[in-house]
Amino acid sequence: MSGPRITLLGSLDQRLRTWLEGHPEGHERGAIVLFRKFDRNNIDFNSSPRFVAIDMIEMDGDWVIESSATHLRINMRNLPPVYLRCEQEGLELGFVHSHPSEFRKFSAQDDQNEQNILRGYAGCNGQHVSLVSLILTDGSWLGRVRTAEHREEALLARHVAVVDDKLSLHLPDSEEESIEVQKRQEAAFGQPFNRKLSSLRIAVIGVGGTGSPAATLLARAGVGEIILIDGDDLDVTNLNRVRGYKMADVGSPKALTLRDYIKSLGLPVSVSAIDEYLYESPEAIDAISGCDAIFGCTDDTCGRDLLNQACYYYGLAFIDAGLTGRIQEDEAGEPFLRDHRGRVSVILPEVGACLRCQNVVTDDKIKFEEALRARPELAELDAETLREEHYLIGGGEQAPGVGPFTSATADFAVSALMDLIKPFRQIDTDLRQDNIWCDFVHLRIHSNEPKDDPDCFCCGSEGLKLSEEGGYRLGMPSFGKYD
C-alpha cells in the first residue's frame, strides 16, 4: 500500500470546517494550512509520507480575487511570506478549499491552481517541497499531494485522519470489497470499516504477553501496515502467554520471529520489525513518527514515557496496555492472587490524561528502572530496603504472567482501537476512555481519576502538542538529529 497520509487534530479540523462552510453567500472558501512532514524511517514499506497539520491561515480580504459556489480565484502575490515561513520552520505548504456544490472530486481548475502554487513554491524553496491539497465537501475530506519534482502528478491520500475524541478516517471513493477473512467483521461495523483499518500504519512496542496477541489480532483484523519493536529474545518462560511463537523459537529475537509468523499467515498486511529497545533506538523513534497509531505493550516505564511524549509531538493515537498485581501466601504457604488487573489507556493529543497524569509513568519509577539497568542485583531487594538504603521507590508491584489475563488485556486494547474508528461502546458514565481497568480477581471494571494538572509538560495547556523537536528526535539530544 502506498500514498500519503494526512492528519488533522480535532481543534484544527473544527476551525477549518467553520471557516470553509461559513461563507454568507455559500461561495467556495480557501485556507492555507501548514504541515509537518514525517517520512524519516527506513521501514521496508511502500512510500507513504505522513503530513500533520499544525496551523491555518484564512483566505479572506485581498486573498480572494473572485469566488462563487463553484470556483475560487486567489491572489498568488500573498503567498511568498508563507513560503518563507515554511522554509524557516521546516514546514510543507497546504491549500485547502470547500466544494459547496458537493462535487466530490478535484476539478480541472484545482489541477491548474495546485500546479501554479507549486511552481512558485518550488521557485522559492527548492525542488524538494510538497504541496498538500484538501477539499471539504458534504462534510467529508478528500486529500492529495504533489511534489515539485513531479508537479503534474497528484498522489491521492490513502486517508485523511481527524484525531479528536475519536479517530475519523476519510477515505477516497473505492469499489474495493473486503476479503473473505474480514466479511464477518464487515457485518458488524459496515463496509468502510475494513478499508479504514487497511489504510493504517500501526506500531506495536513490546511483543510479549500483551504485544504479541495485540499484533496478531491487528493483522487478522486487517490493519494494512504493522511495525513490531522489541529488543528482547524469547525466553522459555514467555511461552505460557505469548502468541505466534513456539518452543523452537526460544532464544530468537521476539520482533523478528513474530514478524515472520505474521507474514506466514498469508494476510494482506505488510509487517516490519525493529529488533531494538525503544529507549535505545533512534530508528524506532523515526518509525513511530510515521505511524497513525501506536500500541504501548512494553513492561518498562522508560519506554512508556517516550511513547507518552511521542503521542503529542507527532499527533498520534496512543493505546497503552499494562498489567499489575500482587501475590500473597495463604496460611498453608500456598501462593494466591491478591490482586491482578489489566489496564488499557486511550490517549489522544487533545483528549484524555497522559500516562504521567494517570500515575502510570512517574519520575520515581524511571529512576528505579535506570538503577536496575546499572545494578541488576537490586531486583532482589524488598521495597523497604530499596527505599532506606538506596533511596529508590519500587519493588513492591508484581505482574505475574498469566496467559488469559495478558491476552484479555490485548483483546481489550484492540477493541479500543475499533471503538475509536467506529464507535460502538455504550459504557457507564463513571468509566473514562483514557483509562479502563479490568480486575480479573473480582471481575470488576473501573476507571481511575487522573491528576488534573494544567501544568503537565506533556498534556498541559503549554504541553508538547505538535511541538517543534528542535532538530532532535523527541527534542532529546540523546537520540540524535533527524534528517
For residue 401, how many C-alpha atoms fall within 13 Å in the half-sphere facing its CB?
13
DSSP 310-362: HHHHTT-EEEEEEEEEEEEE-TTS-EEEEEEEEEEEEEBTTBS--TTTTTSS-
Name the β-bridge partners of 324.
341
- Tell me how far apart the alpha carbons of residues 446 and 431 are, in angstroms, rounded to a whole number: 6
Cβ–Cβ under 8 Å, residues 61 and 121: no
- Tell me how far apart the alpha carbons of residues 105 and 92 are, in angstroms, rounded to a whole number: 23
| Helix, coil or strand: residue 35 | strand
- Interval 188-196 mean pLDDT: 93
Report the candidate in 392, 362, 363, 358 with the shortest Cα–Cα distance to residue 378.
392
Residues 6+ apart with CB under 8 A from 290: 38, 39, 40, 41, 43, 48, 49, 50, 201
Output the pLDDT for position 388. 54
Tell me the pLDDT of the chain averaged across its residues: 92
Could you give phi then psi for residue 70, rounded to 5 degrees? Answer: -125, 0
Residue written as grid cell 493483522: 219
Residue 55: which H helix or E strand, with range? strand 50-58
Domains of the chain: 5-170 (3.40.140.10), 180-192+200-210+276-361+399-479 (3.40.50.720)
Output the pLDDT for position 337. 80
Tell me the pLDDT tens digit for each residue of 43-89. Answer: 788 889 999 999 999 999 999 999 999 889 999 999 999 999 999 99
Residue 204 C-alpha cell reads as: 506495536
Radius of gyration of the chain (CA): 24
Cβ–Cβ under 8 Å, residues 297 and 323: no
pTM of the model: 0.94
Tell me the pLDDT tens digit for each residue of 27-46. Answer: 999 999 999 999 987 778 88
Cα of first residue to Cα of last residue in the chain, in angstroms, is: 24
DSSP 89-138: HT-EEEEEEE-TT---S--HHHHHHHHHHHHHHHHHH-TT-EEEEEEEET
Cα torsion through 345, 348, 349, 352, rounded to 10: -60
Residue 258: which H helix or E strand, with range? helix 254-264
Residue of higher predicted confidence among 368 and 478: 478
Q: Is the pLDDT of residue 93 over 80?
A: yes
State the pLDDT confidence band at 335, using cuts at 50, 70 and 90. Answer: confident
Output the pLDDT for position 334. 84
